[in-house]
Amino acid sequence: MGCRGSGANILVKPFLGTKDTSKLVKAAQYGAPGVYSVAFTNGISAEFTVLEKSGLHHYRFPAGPKGFTIDFSHTLANDFVAEQHTPRANGVNGWVEAKTTCNAGKYKLYYSLEFSVPVTFSNNGEHMVTAVSANGANDVSIRVALSSVSEAAAQQALTTQPFNSLRQRANDSWEQMLSRIQVQGDKEREALFYSLLYRTLQSPYDISEPDGQYRATDGSLQKATGKRYNGWAIWDNYRTQLPLLSLMYPDKYGDITASIAEMYLRGKRITLRKRSLRIPCAPNMLWSYCSMRCVKGIR
């Protein structure tokens, strides 16, 4: 029951040979807050790290022909709508549109990808390209950044740090967030607690730029004095996650509730239906969300 989440836009798939004809089969993997690594049975390995809206891919290949397939129409579960991509020197910029959770609306993301080595691009379908290293490098990194505002903002957000430095910054950032709550006891239960807390903090997520610009619900460009967030599941979490955020992360909760209020000022609607037990509850959920901020004196 319910809907699957949105996201997983733009698939980057490494391959061996001159064409992408085989599946990737995992042989081993490792994950921690801000980092993920995987090894495949064909000898390719990859590691990823991300901090806020900027990340870094690092791929290692065995000797021989190799390349990447980039699918701009890929999504996790919901419908692809449209995309536009423009190759540039060693990279590509563009935007993608896809349906939101339950295919109820749509969202637009701007992106920038930049390879660490010279590459040549060739079309591989209407919404897909193949990228091949011009010098056959076995060690390739891809810098990736996203923005809700523009391609230029995404390109400006590309990290210039080496992988290990960005990974350490990501680790430090998550440590600061997760250490707000201290638990002791059985080690497996401790690990489970922090794993669940990590997932709890995945959303809502910051969609604003450092200067305060962001795209509102209606697509208009706005500017706020604080951060603006998106990624809501209020029906599911207004009695669980949201009170936790207000208690443990009051420094963020003020901007979170301001983001909800502005969402309705910019075109979001609440529909009340007769003889429905669920929909009339929606205003009460939102009011409880924002009233926690007032009662607790969060600004």
Work out the percent of the chain whose per-residue pLDDT is above 70. Answer: 88
Per domain, the residue ranges of the chain are 11-171, 184-295
| Per-residue b or e along 105-142, where b marks 16 or more CB atoms closer than 10 Å to that residue's CB | ebbebbbbbbbbeebebeebeebbbbbebeeebeebbb
Tell me the CA end-to-end span of the chain in Å, nearest whole number. Answer: 36
Q: Output phi, psi for 147, to 5 deg.
A: -155, 145
Q: What is the largest CA-CA distance in the chain?
A: 66
pLDDT of residue 42: 97
Is residue 85 pLDDT above 60, yes or no?
A: yes
Only one residue has tokens 């009170």, namely 243
Q: Confidence band (pLDDT; 50, 70, 90) for 104?
A: confident
Distance CA 34, CA 47 (A): 11
Q: What 8-state DSSP symbol labels residue 251?
A: H
Take residue 95 and report the two structure tokens written for it. Answer: 């935007």
Better-predicted residue by pLDDT, 210 or 278? 210
Which of 1-10, 90-99, 172-181, 282-291 shows the lowest per-residue confidence on average (mean pLDDT)? 282-291
Mean pLDDT (the chain) is 88
pLDDT of residue 119: 95
Better-predicted residue by pLDDT, 280 or 48? 48
Q: What 8-state DSSP symbol labels residue 18?
A: S
Instruction: Answer whether 298's CB lies under 8 Å from 253's CB.
Output: yes
**What average pLDDT does the segment 39-52 reach?**
97
pLDDT, one tens digit per residue, over 175-192 is 999 999 999 999 999 999
Cα-based distances in Å from 184 to 172, 192, 273: 21, 12, 47
pLDDT, one tens digit per residue, over 244-272 is 998 999 989 989 988 988 877 776 655 54
pLDDT of residue 136: 87
Is residue 279 pLDDT above 70, yes or no?
A: no
**What average pLDDT does the segment 18-26 reach?**
93
Which of 77-81, 193-197, 284-288 shows the lowest per-residue confidence on average (mean pLDDT)? 284-288
pLDDT of residue 239: 80
pLDDT of residue 273: 47
> Cα angle at 81 between 77 and 87, to 5 degrees?
105
Is residue 282 pLDDT above 60, yes or no?
A: no
Instruction: Answer whether 13's CB lies under 8 Å from 68's CB.
Output: yes
SS (H, E, C) 167-195: HHHHHHHHHHHHCCCCCCCCHHHHHHHHH
Cα-based distances in Å from 293 to 179, 247, 288, 290: 22, 10, 9, 5
pLDDT of residue 294: 56
Distance CA 6, CA 99 (A): 7
Instruction: Answer whether 126's CB lies under 8 Å from 88's CB.
Output: no
Q: Confidence band (pLDDT; 50, 70, 90) for 278?
A: very low
Distance CA 202, CA 196 (A): 10
Cα-based distances in Å from 258 to 205, 236, 282: 13, 20, 17
Is residue 277 pLDDT above 50, yes or no?
A: no
pLDDT of residue 1: 46
pLDDT of residue 89: 85
Is residue 21 pLDDT above 70, yes or no?
A: yes
Better-predicted residue by pLDDT, 276 or 234? 234
**CATH 3.40.1010.10 is held by the domain 11-171:** no
pLDDT of residue 103: 76
Only one residue has tokens 């807050």, namely 33
Please count the other Cβ atoms lying within 10 Å of the Cβ belonging to residue 16. 20
- Count the alpha carbons within 13 Å of 274 in the hemisphere toward its beta carbon: 0
SS (H, E, C) 84-118: EEEEECCEEEEEEEEECHHHCCEEEEEEEEEECCC
